[in-house]
Each structure stands twice: as C-alpha cells, then as structure tokens.
Structure 1
Amino acid sequence: MSTDLALIRVDGRVREVSAPALVPRVDRGSLADLPYDNARQHPDVVVFSRRDAEDGGWKDVTAARFAAEVHAVAKGLIAHGLRPGDRLALMARTTYEWTLLDFAAWAAGLVTVPVHPTSSAFQTRWILQDSGAVACVVEDAGQGRTVSAERRRLPGLSHLWVLDAGAVRQLRDAGARVPDETVTARRGLLTPNTLATLVYTSGTTGRPKGCALTHANFFAEVDNAVKLLHPVFAPEGGEPPSTLLFLPLSHVFGRMVAVGCVRARVRVGHAPSVEGDALLDDLASFRPTFLLAIPYVMEKVYNRARATAERSGKGAAFDRAARAARRYGRTEAPSLPVRAARALYDLLVYRRIRAALGGRVRYVICGGSPLGVRLAEFFRGAGVEVFEGYGLTETTAASTVTPPLAPRTGTVGLPLPGTGVRIADDGEVWLRGPHVFAGYWDAQRGTAVPYTDEGWFPTGDIGALDEDGYLTITGRKKDLLITSAGKNVAPAPLEDWLRAHPLVAQCMVVGDNRPYVSALITLDHEGLAHWRRMRQKDHLALWELARDEELLAVVQKAVDDANRLVSRAESIRAFRVLTTEFSETSGHLTPSLKLKRRAVLRDFAREVEEMYGPESAYE
C-alpha cells in the first residue's frame, strides 16, 4: 500500500481516499503533438506494426513514418474544408487506419467522434446529429450505406469517406498542395483544455450521451497510468514492450491505451476481429508483451483451455492445476509446497495458457466489469499478472487500478495517481481528478455542460473502500434489486460468478419487488458444443438441452456455488435456461457487452413470470 494515500474516515470507516499525481499536469500543447515529438526525438523507434495484405506478416512503422502519414492525412482533411473544432466521426473496427485518422484529425484541429462499427442506423444517425459531425469515415461499403441512407436527415454532414475504397490515399492526395505550415498553425491553436473527442456512452436505456473529453483529460490519465504501471509500459531490461489492440477503439478503454502507447512509444498492432481463431492467430504472430482485455476475453481463454484438456482426457489434471494456481495467486508469500506445485504445473499447463496469448504476455490490463476473484487468482498463479481497473467513459477510462507489487484480489485497486474516490451516504462511488470529463455535450449550445460545481462526479456505481483505500464495486445503483421483503440485492457478483462458468454465456439476475431472487441464463456456444460432444448428446436440439436433466444439474451446481457469495435472502432460488442468446444484435447487450436489463425483462417477461409460479418457488 502506498504511504502517500490520504484517507478520510467517517464513523470509523474509510469514506474517501486520494492519491497524489506522479507527474505534473501538461500545461501546453495537445495530443496532436505526440507523433511529431516522437519523430523528432526517436525517429527510428518502431511505434506500430501493420498486417501486410499480401503475405500476412507484420510490417513495422517507425515514429518518423507515422508522423509523416499523420501530417499528410491532416493536410487532406484541411484541403476538404474542415475547420478547427469541426467534428469528424470514425466508424470502423480496430485498425491502424483508425488510430492514424484519430491523430491526423487532432493535427488538423478537429474533434473526433467514435461510432461503434456495429451501430444501427438509428444509433449512427443520432450520434452524427447530436455531435454535429461535418464529416465521417467508415470502414466498408456496408457502413457507408448505413450512413448514406440517413444523409437527408444529416444536412450538416458534408463528407463521407470509405477506408476500403482508399479513403486514406484520397485524403493524402487531396492535401498534397496544402502548405506544411497550415498544419503547424492548426496544432498551435490547441491547448490542453481544447476538446479532443466526443465519446458517446453506449447506454443501457435511452439515447447515448456525448462525453466531452479534452486533451488534458487524456494527458492526466495516460501519463499517470504509464508512470504507475512502469513494468508494463517501460520494463527494465528485456524485450521492448508491445501490445495487440483488439477491443473497439470506439470505446474509451481501448482508445486510452492506444494514446498511452503512442505517448510511451510502445509498439502497437491492431486486430480487427475478436473471434476466437482469428484473434489467436494474430496473438501468435504478433507476440505482445501485454494486453488490455475485458473479463469476457479472459473467461474465454480459461474455458477454452479447460475444454481442450477435457477432450484429451486431462480435465481432472487441469482442475488440479487451476486450484494450485489460485492458491499461489491469492498468497503474498507462497509456501514451499505451493511454489513447488506451481512450478510443476507451469510446465504441464500454465505455459500453454501463456502460449494461447502469444507466448510473451506477462501483463493484462483488465476493465469494463469485475474479472472475479477466481480468474484473477488463476491468471496470476499461471504467470500473467492482471491489473484490474475501474472507470467510466466520463473519467477517460481508469480511475482506480491494481498497484504493481500490491495486488488485492477482489478489488479494483487504489485510486489512479491524481484521483480522489469518495463513497456517498447511499454507497455510490464519486470520483474527482483532472481525468474527469468536461461535461456532457449539449447539441443546442455546441459545447459541453459541466456536470457539477463541486468537482466530484457521481458514477452511479455502488462500492466500498477497505481500510487501506482499495475500492470494491458491488453493482450499479440503478440495478439494485429490492425484494418484496425489503432486501437490497446487488446482482453483479452473482452474474459475474455465473458468467465465468464454461456453459454460461450471459446471466441476468431478477427479483425486484419479488419474493425471492431468480436468474435468466443463456448458454455459451463453444462451451455447450464441447459439453454435448463429451456426453454424446449432439443429437439433441437446443430446446431439448435447455430441459436436459444432466445439463440443468450442472447449471444448478454453478448456481449453488454462486449462492455461497451471498446471504440466503440474496441467493438465486430459481433459474431458466433460455434457448436464445443475449447479443448486441438482439438488442439485449450494449456494444461493450453490458446487459440491457429493461430489454431483457420486456422480451422474456413470460419466462420471468414462470419462475415465480407456485411450482418454481422453494424454501
């Protein structure tokens, strides 16, 4: 624990904690300067690697080359008449071109507006309308048609470019006659307090809101994170750090790490697909030293390794290795027998886990939702240190993070340096710091509206601080269930535990104004396929499997295990296995894979009612 933390106690309990910044605030310039600074100071350092379209290998991009490309594209944007402060929307998967356009737009004095590549026509139109975007870059013809179909409702949208149709080349060619000094002048207009981007929250209900993030917000976030996580971004000796980005750059988490890597001159690759085989191929060929991930990805890695072991008749051995890893991972000073067991299983099991991540990964920065104690302990014991973090779009990603050398499993760590965390009287987590956004975008005013005059941002999350200032998140304030007996239930711990099971894809706990707590459960496609093969039940249809006694017994065991986390009044008393999936396409998940609870309750109202029929209740 850092001795520099300032703790404030109320009635004997820690209610507020703050950590001093590790670096001074940036008082001049902007993110647009980063490529140019890197090119001037370290022109030959490799800052990116790109997939070659012909041979599939990775080709390096030096700092000098990246700066030149940024400069050329920035001139193209200026040539097309885009003015300082204009909004440029970016709608694409995680690619090199996304990051290139991000920095080129900043160099031209623009504000970038990410649009998730799978957004519906309505979502896309809303973001373009609300932000007042004058130009949009999409990845492919399909996305181009989505935007084109809405053009009559977007009178302010003057330009639409398609990456697959050569957008970067077109912009570069258009800017060939623009003087270099024009870009220099545009960059000179930017200050740390200039608006850098409008990132729209995916939202579980209603229309998304644009979070106005400044260049100063990003500097405060990435500079303190890079300094704190020096083993990740600047290890002493050994191989240079590198990472493969595969999470959407339309979300602030991936975007923050991309900016941080450019700031720290860490080599970055982009992986546009998160599908199992494609991502594993990219990891194997790129071989990163660290990754950023969401719990869903880590769960898939674990479950796939478990299924592979079971298919070869080594499921029991894998389970023993997993228990050994968790014993090692939860202990600050492991005993000799624990260390010996870990060394044995490292040869037999753990190295295969690391190989699936590319073979060189030693660190994972995990956020988006809690990873869960079991998986955090397992990966630490398997030789992959997981730094969990907590934050929101409004806080430019992380506000707390696991400190190196002082992990505390089950928490989301200590305040990021420069950050304050407060627990309100009702348990809500409030945050303060220079990384907290300027406010929500007001389309009518064309500016951000400050969220508060007090400097504290109420997150809507419920949490607690322990005696040393570590934060634990227990759920969303608006997601708290209150049973008819008056018991408050936070669904997140139960859902997180169940979602980590190989057979479970998603889980939603229900019980608001009901006599007891229940759950809707969907089955994981890969986990179910493996289970069916192992038990020779490939002939059964999905609706038959949802009623299969053997499968229901496995799910019941998982529910029983989850119930050990809570009191009986908070435990799951009934569940239904659904034959459909919760997905972004079905409207039940946000792009960041969070549940849209209202939509699930609406579409599965009959199944919920069935769980509260006389035959479903038990004491």
Structure 2
Amino acid sequence: MRDFALAPPVTTPLTGGLADTVFETAARTPTLPVLSRRPDGASTDWEEVTAVELRDEVVDLAKGFVASGISPGHRVAIMARTRYEWTVLCNALWTVGAEVVPVYPTSSREQVEWILRDANCVGVVVEDEQSVMTVGSVCAALSSLRNVWQLDAGALEQLAQRGELVPLTTVNSLRRIVLPDSTAVIAYTSGTSGRPLGCALSHRSLASPCDTLLAGWGHTAAPAGRQPSVLAFLPFSHVYGLMIQGLCLRGGILMGHQPDIGAEALAESLRTFRPTYLYAVPSVFEKIYKNFLRAAQEAGRGALFERAAQTARDFAAAVERQRLGRGSGPGFDLRLQHALFERTVYRRLRAALGGRVHRATSGGSPLHRDLSLFYEGIGIYVHDGYGLTETSGGITMQPLGREKTGTVGQALPGMDIRVADDGEILVRGPSVFQGYVNDEAATRAALWGGWLATGDLGFLDSDGYLTITGRKKDVIITSSGKSVAPASLEQRLRMHPLVHQAVVVGDNRPCVGALITLDPDFLAHWRGNLMLHGDTQSREAREENALREEIGRAVAAANSTVSRSESIRAFRILPQPFDQTNGLLTPSMKLRRDSIVAHYAAEIEAMYQARARLPRQSAPPEEVLGWDDSDDVFR
C-alpha cells in the first residue's frame, strides 16, 4: 500500500557521515548554542556549549582515538547513561570512521560479554568503577578488546592529551572517507526473548527520519523566533534516544542531557532547563499525569483537577473532530469552561514542565488516547510516534492540521507501510537497517523482498492513519481458541492512578487474567487518605478490602473497552514491580513477558485455581475477578 503522508519535504541528500553535521554547523553558525550541561551534574544552572566549542572537543577526542589505534570500521562500545560525554564521544568516533555500539549501563555481565564479543569491539567507554568491574570480569573472553576508558576517571581529558601530536589533517582525511552507507551504529535489540540481535544502522538510515521530520515538522518544535530546546533523558543506548540526538544536532535544537530519570531529578531538570519540546515514553507521560493528580488531591483540589482533566479531554476531542471535518468544534459552554481552567489549572500544569513545552512525542509503545487528549487539552499536543530499532527510529508522523489522536499518524514521506493478511505491519524505506550482525538467517527472516516484517500488529484506516494493536508474539490464545491482544487492556489498566504495571496472561487458560503492580507513590498517598480507625489488624484487613475494590474498578474500566470473551476475569496484585534487577524488564522499559510468566507461574496457577472454585452465578463482582483469602498484597 502506498503511504498517505504529506508530499516529501525537500531535504539535502547526505554526502558523508553523521559527524559532518558538527563541523558544518560550526562553520556556518559558530556561536550557536547546541548543547547545554551542568558542570557539576547537580546544579540547577545550565552551561551552554556553542557549535565551535563542540567541534573542537570532538576533534580533540578524535585525535585521541586515532592515537589509541582506533581505525575506520573498528567498533567501540559506549556503556553510559544519557550524559554530555555520550554525544561528544559518538561524534568523535564517527569522525574517524568507527562504529558505535551502544550498551545499556544496567546490562548484566552476561549481556555485556555477549554484545562486546558479538560486535567484536576493540574498545569500550564506561561510566564508573562498577562498569569497569563488569567489563573487567569478561575481558578474558574478549580477545579483540584492547581499550577500556572510564568517564568518571577523566577519560576525555586523557584521550585529548594522548592525541595532541596527531595532526588535524589526519582527522579531516578520515572524516572525508566516511560514506553515507557506512555503518554508524550496531544497536542491539532489547532481547525480550532470547539473545539480543545487533542491528547495523548506516549513517544514511539514521539521518533519514531526522531530516524528514525536521524538513516537514521542525518548525513546530518552538514558537517562531525562538531556538527550540529538548531535554534528552531517554537512553542513547536505544534508537529512540539516538534519534533525539540526531534531530537536535542536525536541526540546530539546543539539547540538554539528564542522566538521572528518577521522578524528582527529572522534574527539577524540566523546570530549570525549560524545554520547548518533550520526547518521552508512555510511562513518563502516565507518571506525570499521576503526579498532577496526586498533588491536586494532597492540596484538597482533587475534584477540581478531575473536572479540569475531563474538560481538557472533551475540548481536545471536539477540536479533533473539527480539524478532521467531522464536527463544528467546541461549543460555547465547553470553550468557557476550558478558558476558566486555563487560568486556574492548565498553565500551572505546564509550568511544572518548565512552562515552554507545547508539543511532545511519545514512543516505545502506544499511548492511551485519553492521556493524549488530556495533554492536548491542557496545551501540549502529544504525538504518539512509531518506530523500531530496525528502522533507525521514526516510521510515521501526524500530518499537520490533520492529527488523529489514538493513531500513530501516517507514513513518513519516503516510507511505505502495508499490513499483511495476519495483521502484521510491513515497512520499507531509506531508514531500514542493513541487517543483523553475524546472523544472516535472522536478517532473511525479517526482510521479505525489501519489506521489513516489524512483528507489530495494526491496521490502516481509509485515510492512511496507522493504529498499533500490539505485538504479534504477545497475542494470547485462550483454551477456547479466542485470540486476545493484551496491549490495549494493559494500557487501559495503567490509566488508573494506583496501577504501575500490568501484564495480561491467559495462554491455554479458560479466560484472560492479569498480574498487576502498584505505583508506590500513589499507593502511599491513597493509604494516607483512607483514615481508617481501629486496631492494626482490623485496619489492615479493611485497607486490603478497599484496595481490592479499587483495583477491581480499574479492571472493570478496562473490561468496558473489550468484548466479554476478551475481558479480564481474574487478577492478582503483586508485591514487587517488574524491573531490570529481577530480569523482568528490558533496559528500554519493555516487559519480558515470557520471563514474567515463568517467574510468577505459581501465582498465575493459584489465581486460576481460585477462580475455578468460585460459584458461576452467585459470586459478587470482586470474587468473579478472582480474589480469595490468600491474595494478600501486604505480606
């Protein structure tokens, strides 16, 4: 199927490597601020780095890499959080024709060994002593690894000193032989099942979605006359983070780095850096919304916030109908309500994000439509993006003036999308990867006649807007043969403030069930508002019953969006969240479903056995959902 996107914007063809951007920007606008950093890592003061300053630092490091024996085609891993040095290092490596291998700093010893060996890395840049120890423990198995540089031990300064005698002409000569189709990055998939695969991404494929987005939508990143700015906090170890970096450098967007993505640290950086555009994943947008709600409730304005939130959603939905030619837009009463809440609520919410964000992109997994409408209604339009590691990031975008919330937009100019008979999304275009490193069989399985089989399920509507319904391998088939895509149910469950994570299960089971973890901050707030009296044992029992009922309401709300055969008929609240330390979450925050099901096999079995013991007709609603006396979340 031909894509329905806007006409291809005019973009300048890439003639060299990605590092050329740093040099070209420095020559064209040497004093333009391109990066912003906090010298001590904790200060609220941001220090701007100009284009020429960045170029000079890149050159110094490139010389150091040459002096260290790094040559074109060599692979060097970067194992660090999203920090200023990441951007400088990868551009220095690209300058000398080396290939960057991103590694999550939270990766296990086994994952680090596999990636460094599979990519045949000759060097690795790590962040701290702990990472040095991790790499050191696997060095014996890595015959090609010759260099380990530690950022917190002065690696940048040491590299610059080592390269002092390397002539500038050597660096320039190496940079000029880098071609657009040279490999720039070996990005390893998260490995939700099996070992991660290394996706070879060329300079051209990484630049393609960035240049297309900048040409067609770059002007929306900030009001006219103001330099756009982005706070980068998503991991550069993931292709989404790399795309953000590329957009900023190639588009003249001021980029700040935030390595700590804890709620308090991120909130403080947003307030002080004051970005004009926000890139995040759904869990961040969900957490921000829950924090808004919790703060309002703590201030005794919870009901006011909920009315304001509903008005925002209603207003945004009416505006959407108008722009799509399906309605007349918000009525007088709705506009009046919205204007009132703009003065009393919405502008304060935007101020919590720095006060200048007016557009945003959510990626990594689908964003719930209600949440997207909420943000649009308070003055921050959130585009739900779609992309893969294998496509160097972005595949789709919302056409300006015809945005359709709940979809991921239309194919980017130059990209083609079609949907196979089984619902799998197939794509082709200039950003598609070169193949999997050292795995021709996997490459052949993914690329069918020039089309990439994404593994995602979805559909195109009559106007070419794409909707993602889930992952092909995540589809659940119950014992009655009913196929259930869990993503929408999980998404709807997470909309409840108490729900942190949700995993829908039910393969070869009589009905669909769910494992649920709770948001610790909102749970503490919720408990504080119960104000239960009596002895400790009595309070705990009543608190547990109240929690059961509240989560039961969240499940009922999720079930209202699907048929009865697809609805959740049993669930269990787990005492601990899924995270990377217990191996149940990937570094890119995706659920390891197979591992979760295996880890909680006993709990899942007990959940279904409890349901099987319940009377079919006379059971009250919460029992139908699968609660029994052993389902104690407080132990």
Task: Give the SS at the match of 1:457.
Answer: strand
Contact 1:18 1:421 in 2 (8 A): no
1:245 corresponds to: 232
Matching residue within 251, 261, 264 for 1:264: 251
Measure the CA separation in 2 of the matches of 1:170 and 1:432: 43
Contact 1:70–1:103, Cα closer than 8 Å, also in 2: yes
CA distance in structure 2 between the aligned counterparts of 1:184 and 1:133, rounded to whole angstroms: 24
SS in 2 for 1:44: coil
Q: Do the aligned residues in 2 keep the contact of 1:135 with 1:157 (CA within 8 Å)?
A: yes
CA contact (8 A) 1:112 1:197 kept: yes
Query: Does the CA contact (< 8 Å) of 2:77 and 2:100 recur in 1?
Result: yes
Q: Which residue of 2 aligns with 1:65?
A: 53
For the 8 Å contact 1:22–1:418, the answer to whether it is kept is no
Distance 1:130 1:20, change over 3 A: farther
Structure 2 counterpart of 1:185? 173
Aligned to 2:628: none
Please say which of residues 20-29 and 84-93 is displaced more in the overlay.
20-29
Letter matched to residue 77 of structure 1: F
Structure 1: which 5+ runs fail to align? 1-6, 9-15
The residue aligned with 2:313 is 326
CA contact (8 A) 1:228 1:403 kept: no
TM-score (norm 1): 0.94
Question: Out of 332, 353, 356, which is 1:357 matched to?
Answer: 353
Q: Residues 67, 617 of structure 1: CA spacing in aligned structure 2 closer, same or farther, 3 A cutoff?
A: farther
Bigger CA drift: 326-335 or 184-193? Answer: 326-335
> Quick one: distance in 1 between partners of 2:511 and 2:264?
41
- 1:147 correspondence with 2:135: yes
What's the CA shift for 1:360?
Answer: 0.8
RMSD over aligned CA atoms reads 2.1
> Match for 1:225: what amino acid?
L
| Corresponding position of 1:509 | 504
Q: Residue 6 of structure 2 contacts residue 399 of structure 2 at CA under 8 Å; is this kept in 1? A: no
1:497 is paired with a residue whose SS is helix
Note closer, same or farther for the CA distance 1:618–1:586 as it changes in structure 2 (3 Å cut).
Answer: farther
**1:417 and 2:413 equivalent?**
yes
Superposed displacement of residue 229, structure 1: 1.8
Measured at CA, do residues 568 and 123 of structure 1 come closer, stay the same or move farther in structure 2, by a change above 3 Å?
Answer: same
1:470 to 438, 444, 465: 465
Aligned counterpart, 1:4: none
Q: Is the 8 A contact 2:63 2:171 kept in 1?
A: yes
Instruction: Give the whole-Å Cα distance in 2 for the aligned partners of 1:47 and 1:450.
Output: 41
Amino acid at match of 2:91: F
Q: Is the 8 A contact 2:446 2:453 kept in 1?
A: no
Q: Which residue of 322, 344, 350 maps to 1:348?
A: 344
Aligned equivalents of 1:559, 1:104: Cα separation in 2: 51
Question: Structure 1 pair 55/431, CA: closer, same or farther in 2 (3 Å)?
Answer: closer
- Residue of structure 2 aligned with 1:562, choices 548, 558, 563: 558
SS of residue in 2 equivalent to 1:31: coil
Once residues 545 and 98 of structure 1 are traced to their aligned partners in structure 2, the CA distance between those partners, rounded to angstroms, is 51
Whether the aligned pair in 1 keeps the contact of 2:447 and 2:453 (CA below 8 Å) is no
Task: Give how far 1:500 is off.
Answer: 2.3
| Distance in structure 1 (CA, Å) of the matches to 2:7 and 2:615 | 52
In the TM superposition, residue 83 of structure 1 has moved relative to its aligned partner by 1.0
* Local SS of the residue matching 2:19: helix
Change (3 A) 1:151 1:425: same
2:35 is the alignment partner of 1:39 = no
Q: Deviations over 1:388-420 (max 9, x none)?
A: 111110011111122322221111111112111
Task: Kindly state the Cα deviation for residue 526 of structure 1 after the two structures are TM-superposed.
Answer: 0.8
Alpha-carbon shift at residue 512 of structure 1 (Å): 1.1
The 1:537/1:58 distance shift into structure 2, 3 A limit, reads: farther
| Residue in structure 2 matching 1:387, options 383, 387, 404 | 383
Report the equivalent of 2:624.
none
- Per-residue CA deviation, residues 101-120 of structure 1 (Å, 9 max, x unaligned), is 01010001100000001111
Runs of 4+ with >4 A deviation: 16-20, 447-451, 537-541, 543-547, 616-619
Partner of 2:75: 87
Match of 1:574 among 554, 558, 570: 570
Distance 2:482 2:448 in 1: 35
Q: Distance in 1 between matches of 2:551 and 2:440?
A: 51
Instruction: State percent identity of aligned pairs.
Output: 46
Quick check: 2:25–2:51 contact (8 Å CA) kept in 1? Answer: yes
Q: Shift of residue 17 of structure 1?
A: 5.1
Question: Is 1:111 aligned with 2:111?
Answer: no
Ranges in structure 2 where 5+ consecutive residues have no aligned partner: 320-328, 618-635
For 1:414 and 1:44, how far apart are their aligned partners in 2?
Answer: 37
Correspondence 1:315 to 2:305: no
Equivalent position to 2:333, from 337, 352, 360: 337
TM-score (normalizing by structure 2) = 0.92
Partner of 1:524: 519
Is the 8 Å Cα contact of residues 20 and 419 (structure 1) preserved in structure 2?
no
- Counterpart CA distance in 2 for 1:507 and 1:617 is 26
**Contact 2:499–2:516 (8 Å) recurs in 1:** yes
Per-residue CA deviations over 1:292-342 (Å, capped at 9, x if unaligned) read 000100111100110111112111111100100000111222222222111
